[in-house]
Amino acid sequence: MAYSGYIRKLTPVVYKEFGKDKADRILKKAREKYSRLCEENAEEPKEVQVHTRKRIYPAIAVFQAMLEENVGRETVASILNTFHEEQSKPAGEAIRILLRIPALYRLVPRFFAKMTKNFFGEKAGFKARWLRADKNEMRFDMLICPYQDICVRHGCSEIVQGFCRTDDICYGNMHPKLHWGRTKTLGLGGDCCDFCLTVR
């Protein structure tokens, strides 16, 4: 059976919400569903697997497992979206601490652009329209996102907004002289995710 760190981290939340017996059933089903998703998509490029194995497939597996245990869709979405947000808070705090280094914030737009192209590029299933990437501003529209597409395909579009929210938590308040300007996302019904990061 495939191993998921996501499900392991979520386990205490599931036990707290549902008690031992129901949580045991949910987690057993989730692990089985996760393994099946990995097996069915074994030929995915490694660039895609970075996203599907670590976040997308385990979230779908847990979502479906909870539904089968008669948990309402809104409740499931709330649990998972809250979990995504809580998991992103330490990373956001670490970024803010790092950017206390004088003038380091000035490097962020270019670094962010490079990171996005490396980990969120077409090889990983994303498609972006780049508008600007220099020392003062990084701006692009994400037109295709596997988090959105795969979750919609598996009938759990409600959890995409939690994935989107993690970006806001990590990057929304990085530094007083950096402005995070995203106004819409695919996961919340936008025609794109309009990423914008500007040095004030």
pTM listed for this prediction: 0.93
Summary mean pLDDT of the chain:
95
Per-residue pLDDT for 46 more than 80? yes
Q: What residue spans of 41-72 are helical by DSSP H? A: 46-51, 57-68
- Same domain assignment for residues 54 and 117: no
Angle formed by the axes of helices 146-153 and 57-68, nearest 10° = 30
Residues 41-52, mean pLDDT to the nearest whole number: 96
- The domain that holds 119 is classified in CATH as 3.30.70
- Same domain assignment for residues 61 and 142: no
Residues 64-76, mean pLDDT to the nearest whole number: 97
- Same domain assignment for residues 200 and 109: yes
Judge whether 66 lies within some domain. Answer: yes
Judge whether 80 lies within some domain. Answer: no
Judge whether 86 lies within some domain. Answer: no
Confirm if 38 and 1 have CB atoms less than 8 A apart.
no
- Same domain assignment for residues 114 and 61: no
- Same domain assignment for residues 197 and 122: yes
Judge whether 84 lies within some domain. Answer: no
pLDDT at 95: 96
Residues 39-62, mean pLDDT to the nearest whole number: 96
Per-residue pLDDT for 141 more than 90? yes
* Sign of the alpha-carbon torsion through 114, 126, 92, 168: positive
CA distance 174 to 153: 33
pLDDT at 47: 96
- Same domain assignment for residues 55 and 114: no
- Same domain assignment for residues 188 and 107: yes
* Sign of the alpha-carbon torsion through 182, 184, 185, 188: positive
Q: Which domain, by its residues, includes 61?
A: 1-71
CA distance 195 to 157: 20
- Same domain assignment for residues 106 and 65: no
- Same domain assignment for residues 64 and 135: no
Confirm if 55 and 88 have CB atoms less than 8 A apart.
no
Q: Determine the residue type at 10.
A: L
